[in-house]
Structure 1
């Protein structure tokens, strides 16, 4: 099998990443690291490894998509595995993935994974990368996921791909700054005749990494449009089931909304909104065919005028704003109670041991609210909402 790692200015992580591959219980593989024109010590660190399974390709700076393609074109293995330079894998990752692939004859094998916060060093399960699918069994025919764009995420590092299957599809990574993996991954998932999902958690995915391109999405929002358009074009020109097409259209609505919500307020202009809504308008479905009612409302905006789009967009997220306001109010109330109890403790510590436990409970509840999916999602959505309101007031 072939492991391909694209690297760019990854000096802080590349040794841990490469070590995790070279120390695998499976010994028969090739590791291809493609450096995308790093300007730090990444290349020098890679060259310190003395292992004949490792080869290094040094390329001028372009993007991770091109780096992955360069590695894939050189690869000779029957299976392809793409790992990011700031992630790492468990000791038996490659063995378990290849065993699953060979025993099931699957086109794609998907495993579970978890987050590692690069700042706090805390870990947490990655719960949304495998949804509503049966695990530890071959998925084929009617058992294949009917919503592949919702069941999985369009990144490659938790998936093993059969090489001749990929070659037959004629797919490669898009050579662009961001969203360069969605076409390769989602087309493979949509066209696979056999899938296998294992319950084994085999990959550590680093998050909260300030060097990640995910933190600079405002500079490359057109890449998301390019990915969605390329996937849609491929699916239209290559036969897929109606359920897969419906899944794709739902994903377009959701992914467009998420991209606009994650942009800086000064980057979310009417022209940007128009570009996303124009794409959504090309893939309309009856409202009853959207998995999420909010996505159905959002997709309907594609047929509105610019001013109507802005007004409806604000209205669409008013409920999210209300939920966040409730959460903030709840936090403020808890903070006030916590402060009051803390003051009481300082005044009469010997008589307030019970209150001390209550303070701790409140602090735990506050942390849980701040870490909740609704609170985090709402915070992301408020930025574009604020921008849209300012536009409407002009």
Structure 2
């Protein structure tokens, strides 16, 4: 067993009803070639998740229990308990290679603010980002994953700049955190080119546009809130090219949310806010959007019954297929 003071890295693992996957996750973290401090933050699980974690608790494995505070606040609680220089995150559905921590830590020499790897199954090349602008551009264009997993962050920067997850954002919070962190850095960012993280897609991602649940409109709107904050951040530092990219992504997210509202005959405030965002940015869309995006926005705003008709056909096809 390693002494806490000798460890360089803490891994924060938020959990909620993860009994089917948590054992695999824990075992992958306990066999790391470069040991790490593990902090599990359980957010009110009603299954066996907590019992499974307790079996592994020791000097280097900590369990903190909360009651339905949400993933962002759970991660913030974890951050407050970190005593190492470096921190990363692992989702309870996922697991990692035995040399995951070693691969990420060994490149953290002087002047490096962040190291990262990709998930298994995704092609990756090594790359050095010498500016935060270059790194953020690849984040918002999905050239690299925008999740906090697979990345090692400097706790000195997080503490000094008071960086945290926004408690009211539960979708898109990872991207917002990464960009907030990047804007606070003056060092380089290293993409190792290694695939060390096993990502399990069990997060109800199927056919996200064509959900018929009204709460999915609210969830989609939450991502819009995240990207509005991201747009505000990059606008302050005048990254003009990134401002355009973020704005276009915000338009796409807003359009998708608005289409969900139309498809569901949803009448909440989110629908009218999305409509206003699209109307207010119509000139920008016409000047900068692709032909496909322009057509979809114009149909949604001025012929909503028609785009709803086509979306309904596609939804039924997905449901049958």
**TM over 0.5, yes or no?**
yes
Q: CA deviation at 1:256?
A: 3.0
What is the Cα-based RMSD across aligned positions, in Å?
3.7
2:119 is matched with 113
3-state DSSP of counterpart to 2:163: coil
1:19 is matched with 27
Q: How does 1:209-358 map to 2 (within 5 A)?
A: 217-218=216-217, 220-236=219-235, 238-259=236-257, 265-266=263-264, 272-280=270-278, 285=284, 287=286, 289-290=288-289, 292-297=290-295, 301=298, 308=302, 310=304, 313=307
Q: CA deviation at 1:254?
A: 2.8
Equivalent residues of 2:224, 2:253 under 8 A apart: no
User: How far apart, CA to CA, are the structure 2 residues paired with 1:63 and 1:16?
Assistant: 23
Equivalent residues of 1:110, 1:160 under 8 A apart: yes
User: How far apart, CA to CA, are the structure 2 residues paired with 1:268 and 1:75?
Assistant: 43
Q: Deviations over 1:26-47 (max 9, x none)?
A: 02x2111001011111111110
2:3 is matched with none
Q: Deviations over 1:248-289 (max 9, x none)?
A: 112212333455567894265586443224335566746554
Equivalent residues of 2:132, 2:185 under 8 A apart: no
Q: Which is higher, the Rg of structure 1 or of structure 2? A: 1
1:78 is matched with 85
Q: Is 1:197 matched up with 2:197?
A: no
Question: Among 312, 315, 318, which residue is 1:383 paired with?
Answer: 315
Question: Among 93, 114, 130, which residue is 1:140 paired with?
Answer: 130
2:63 is matched with 56
| Distance verdict in 2 for CA 1:140–1:258, change over 3 Å | farther
Q: Is 1:173 matched up with 2:176?
A: no
Q: CA deviation at 1:17?
A: 0.9
| Distance verdict in 2 for CA 1:71–1:139, change over 3 Å | same
3-state DSSP of counterpart to 1:107: strand
Q: Deviations over 1:264-320 (max 9, x none)?
A: 942655864432243355667465544x5434555x64xx9x7516267569xx7xx
Q: CA deviation at 1:154?
A: 3.2
User: How far apart, CA to CA, are the structure 2 residues paired with 1:293 and 1:105?
Assistant: 43
Q: CA deviation at 1:217?
A: 3.4
User: How far apart, CA to CA, are the structure 1 residues paired with 2:24 and 2:205?
Assistant: 17
> TM (normalized to structure 1)?
0.64
3-state DSSP of counterpart to 1:181: helix
Equivalent residues of 2:133, 2:239 under 8 A apart: no
Q: Deviations over 1:181-228 (max 9, x none)?
A: 33212333466542211211011111145599x887345333223212
User: How far apart, CA to CA, are the structure 2 residues paired with 1:78 and 1:282?
Assistant: 45
1:156 is matched with 148
User: How far apart, CA to CA, are the structure 2 residues paired with 1:191 and 1:288?
Assistant: 32
Unaligned runs of 5+ in 1: 115-124, 322-378, 387-394
Q: CA deviation at 1:48?
A: 0.2
Question: Which structure carries more helix by proportion?
Answer: 1
| Distance verdict in 2 for CA 1:177–1:242, change over 3 Å | closer
Q: CA deviation at 1:170?
A: 3.2
Equivalent residues of 1:36, 1:67 under 8 A apart: yes
3-state DSSP of counterpart to 2:59: coil
User: How far apart, CA to CA, are the structure 1 residues paired with 2:285 and 2:301?
Assistant: 23
3-state DSSP of counterpart to 2:102: helix
Equivalent residues of 1:30, 1:53 under 8 A apart: yes
User: How far apart, CA to CA, are the structure 2 residues paired with 1:61 and 1:147?
Assistant: 33
Q: Is 1:4 matched up with 2:3?
A: no
